[in-house]
Every structure is written in structure tokens, then in C-alpha cells.
Chain A
Amino acid sequence: MAVTVKTFASSNEAATALSSDRTARYLGGGTLVMRALNEGDVSISTVVRASDQALTRIDASGPRITLGAGVTFARVLAERDLAFLHAPARSIGGPAVRNMGTVGGNLFAPNPYGDFAVALLALDATVAVQGGFGSRDIAIEEFLQSRERQSGALVLSVSCTRPASADAFRYRKVARIKPKGGSVITLAAHLPISGGRIAGARIALGSMAPTQIRAKAAERALEGRVLDAATIAAAASAVTEGTAPSDNALGSAWYRREIVGVHLRRLLSGQE
């Protein structure tokens, strides 16, 4: 079925068009929206686009980085200042998907996708959204939890603080087909160190619940500790708390619960 395509020069107008029409869907890179249209999804009757340059801007020079929602993974990979985000960007799809898929679209990608959002969740990112009501910043955790209700709002950008060192941020996607298979589970850890101890631990998981979640019990096991074998073991045994994985073609819920602690232990101890 044909849809109406509306292209706007400003994100303002696009946001207004989105919020006033329940059948409208924003088109980022289109890797999921076009697939839905190809499959005959009749819930979409309008496709909204914005050519606003601000949506593709990258600000990566300072301690706080901002990525426009329309920035593709290939562009993240081309940016030397974004080295800490290269592992999550590289883990998504094949080269064509990385040339097309965007950071903003990843926030809405359903399981088993949303790998980049797992990294952003561990980095306590902020999501700037614009609705009919104007624009505001939302913490990514809150954004992901209320994602179903965010349809109708336009994501403008995401921002986060650059990790203090390369070692402070770690990412791992467990997939059966390398390099581009879908995620069995995805893990990201941000471990800022203050006076030799972990201060502000963040562990984020993908494919362990209906949306990306923080493993708060594992974070508590790390907080204020030195990252030694005992701390790592405590975090690994707490990591399934609060998770609710499901079965899909890539793995069963049981398997996910069995392996998530093993992979967290490897990630925290720096093993391949």
C-alpha cells in the first residue's frame, strides 16, 4: 500500500507532523521502517522525514559528546574522537546496514536489536526529544522504559560523557554468526575509578528483558570496590537479578540466563 511521504527542512516541523498523526512514522536510516513497509505493515500511512542538518551533527571534541539522531554507525566509526563507541558501532549488521542505520533509530529497535543503545545506557546518556510540547532531555533509562509511549516524539540527539579511560568502558556482543549476527546477549560496562575504587558502576544488558536494562544488583556488587576476582565473581552471580529474557531463534531464555554471568565475568576481567 502506498504511503504519503512528508519531508521537512526543520526538525520542528517534522516533530509537529509526527505528534499530530498516529499513523505517521519517522524515517531515520529506514532499515526497520522500510522492512515494515516491504512486509505490508498497514499501521504506517505517513512517513515523515527531516533534512535538518542538526540531526546529522557530531560534537565529539570535548568531554561531553553529542550525536545527532541521524548519525549513522559508519560515521561513528569514521570519527577518531569516538573510539570508545567503535566496538558497539562495529557490532551492528554488515557494512550496508552500518552505512544506513542511525543512532536515533537504534533507540527504538526491538529485540534482538538495539546494541548501540546498550552502550549508551551504560554511559548514562541523555536523549533530547522534541514533541508537540517542545523539546526536553530525558535520561536514557527512562526513555527506554517508556519507549512505547515515545512514538510521536522526535529524537534530536543523544549525549554522554566520554569515559575517563579506554579501560573504563567495555562492550561485548554475544552472537552466533560473526561478525554480523543478531545478539544472543549484549553487555556494556562503565566502571569509573576514583581513588582506586569503582565509583558510579553501570552495567547495561541487551536481550535480557523486553528493552535494554541496567543490572542494578551487579552494579551494587561493584560499587566502592576494587575490581578484583572476588568483586567480579559477586557481580557475575548477581547479574541475572531483575532480568526477564525471552526465547527467540537466537537463544532461549534459559540459555541467556546461564551465560550472562560468564560473559560479564569475562568482560570485567578483560578476557576475550
Chain B
Amino acid sequence: MSKTPLQFRHNGRDVAIFVDGGTNLLVALRELIGDMTPKFGCGQGGCGTCSVLIDGELHLSCLTLAETVAGRSVETLDGMKQGPNLHPLQRAFADAFAAQCGYCTPGMLMAAKALLDRNPSPSRADVVEAISGNICRCTGYESIINAILAASGGRASA
């Protein structure tokens, strides 16, 4: 089976790799680019921990055929921090104890970023909706919701 060349933007940097037919984006990111921030949870679309932004839109990397991101921009948690500083969402997660084992955290942060990029002052219901595709086994969600509200312009409603 021949490999297919694939080029795309990964956290603002151009990357070029060769993929096997049918490779999903999660495998391409972790095994071929070495970006371990998107996690493998289920491989079925059910947990959301592999979430990334493709051209700014939230997608599940485990269900994305790698070849479909050719020429597009992919953002992962690895690209979130701002220079040496944490992104406000990352800081809010740490401050609000929104991560326990941390397995869901990369996907939660990407889902939260997708929301705040579009709507800087979300309501609590907007936040609940935005993370509804992401499963957390540890926190019971409240601390995550509070962290996202705290990082948003809608701070007052936290």
C-alpha cells in the first residue's frame, strides 16, 4: 500500500507527512507529528478527548480522515499556550480544579476555545451545550463549566 503525501498547518506551522490510506487525524498527529496533546479515548466519536479545531471549527480527530485536512489549519492543545504563558482558559482550569486525572482536559479546552472564539460571553447554558460532546469521568462537570465561565467575558455569571 503506497503512502500519500499530506501537508497542512499544525498550530500555525506548515507540516508535511506521508500517511497510509484510511489513517485518522488523531493517529497522524500523535504518531507522525509527535503532538501527544489530543488523547485517544474511544476512537468512536463518543468521548471528545481527541477534539481539535479544523479551520477554527471543533472536530473529532479520531473520526477525521487525515487526508481531508490537506491545506487546512489544525489547532490542538499544544498550540494553545501563549508564548511562555498559559492561555486564560488553561489558567482558569488550573485555578478552578477543573482537571483531576486530566484525560478529558485537552478535548474540553478545545471545545471551550471553539466556543469562546465565537462567543466571548457565553451563558451557562451555552457552555453546557459546547462541552456536551465531551465526557469527563472525574470532575462532575461543574468545575469545568465554572472554569470556562471564569475565563470568558461572562465572568459575572460564574
Binding site for B on A (CB under 8 A): 1-5, 7, 27, 30-31, 34-35, 37-39, 47, 49, 74, 93-97, 99-100, 179-180
With contacts A38-B44, A99-B57 known, is A179 near B132, CB below 8 A? yes
0/1 interface trace, chain B 25-66, chain A, CB 8 Å (1 if under) = 000000000000000000111001001000001111011110
Residues of A within 8 A of B64 (CB): 30, 34, 100
Interface size class of B (residues with CB under 8 A): 20 to 34
Contacting chain A: which of B16-24, B73-81, B91-99?
B16-24
Residues of A within 8 A of B134 (CB): 94
**Which of A1, A4, A94 is in CB contact (< 8 Å) with B132?**
A94
Residues of A within 8 A of B58 (CB): 95-96, 99
Residues of A within 8 A of B20 (CB): 2
The distance in angstroms between the C-alpha atoms of A96 and B111, with both chains bound, is: 8
By the criterion CB–CB under 8 Å, are A34 and B62 in contact?
yes
Q: Is B154 an interface residue (CB 8 A)?
A: no
The distance in angstroms between the C-alpha atoms of A69 and B104, with both chains bound, is: 32
The distance in angstroms between the C-alpha atoms of A38 and B62, with both chains bound, is: 8
Q: Is B82 an interface residue (CB 8 A)?
A: no
Main secondary structure of the interface of A (DSSP, over half): mixed
By the criterion CB–CB under 8 Å, are A95 and B130 in contact?
yes
With contacts A2-B20, A35-B44, A35-B63 known, is A179 near B129, CB below 8 A? yes
By the criterion CB–CB under 8 Å, are B45 and A31 in contact?
yes
B56 to chain A, nearest CB (A): 10
Q: Is B4 an interface residue (CB 8 A)?
A: yes
The distance in angstroms between the C-alpha atoms of A20 and B23, with both chains bound, is: 24
By the criterion CB–CB under 8 Å, are B22 and A3 in contact?
yes
Which residue from chain A places its CB closest to the CB of B3 in the assembled complex? Answer: A2
By the criterion CB–CB under 8 Å, are B67 and A100 in contact?
no
A132 to chain B, nearest CB (A): 23
0/1 interface trace, chain B 110-129, chain A, CB 8 Å (1 if under) = 01001000000000000001
Binding site for A on B (CB under 8 A): 1, 4, 20-24, 43-45, 48, 51, 57-60, 62-65, 67-68, 111, 114, 129-130, 132-134
Find the residue from B24, B43, B51, B63 having the highest chain A CB count within 10 A.
B63
The distance in angstroms between the C-alpha atoms of A66 and B10, with both chains bound, is: 35
B141 to chain A, nearest CB (A): 13
Task: List 5 A–B pairs whose Cβ atoms lie within 8 Å, in order of A's numbering.
Answer: A2-B23, A35-B44, A94-B132, A97-B133, A179-B132
Using A31-B45, A39-B43, A100-B59 as known contacts, list a sample of 18 further A-B pairs with CB atoms less than 8 Å apart, ordered by residue number in A. A2-B20, A2-B21, A3-B22, A4-B1, A5-B65, A30-B68, A34-B24, A35-B44, A35-B45, A38-B24, A95-B130, A96-B45, A96-B48, A96-B51, A99-B57, A100-B60, A179-B129, A180-B133
By the criterion CB–CB under 8 Å, are B133 and A5 in contact?
no
Residues of B within 8 A of A38 (CB): 24, 43-44, 62-63
With contacts A95-B58, A95-B114, A95-B130 known, is A34 near B1, CB below 8 A? no
Which residue from chain B places its CB closest to the CB of A3 in the assembled complex? Answer: B22
Which residue from chain A places its CB closest to the CB of B44 in the assembled complex? Answer: A35
Residues of A within 8 A of B45 (CB): 31, 35, 93, 96-97
By the criterion CB–CB under 8 Å, are B24 and A37 in contact?
yes
With contacts A94-B133, A94-B134 known, is A5 near B4, CB below 8 A? yes
Residues of B within 8 A of A95 (CB): 58, 111, 114, 129-130, 132-133
A229 to chain B, nearest CB (A): 34
The distance in angstroms between the C-alpha atoms of A30 and B22, with both chains bound, is: 11
A180 to chain B, nearest CB (A): 5
Residues of B within 8 A of A3 (CB): 21-22
The distance in angstroms between the C-alpha atoms of A180 and B60, with both chains bound, is: 15
B158 to chain A, nearest CB (A): 21
The 7 closest A-B pairs by CB, nearest first: A94-B133, A3-B22, A34-B63, A38-B43, A2-B20, A2-B1, A94-B132
Find the residue from B24, B62, B65 having the highest chain A CB count within 10 A.
B65
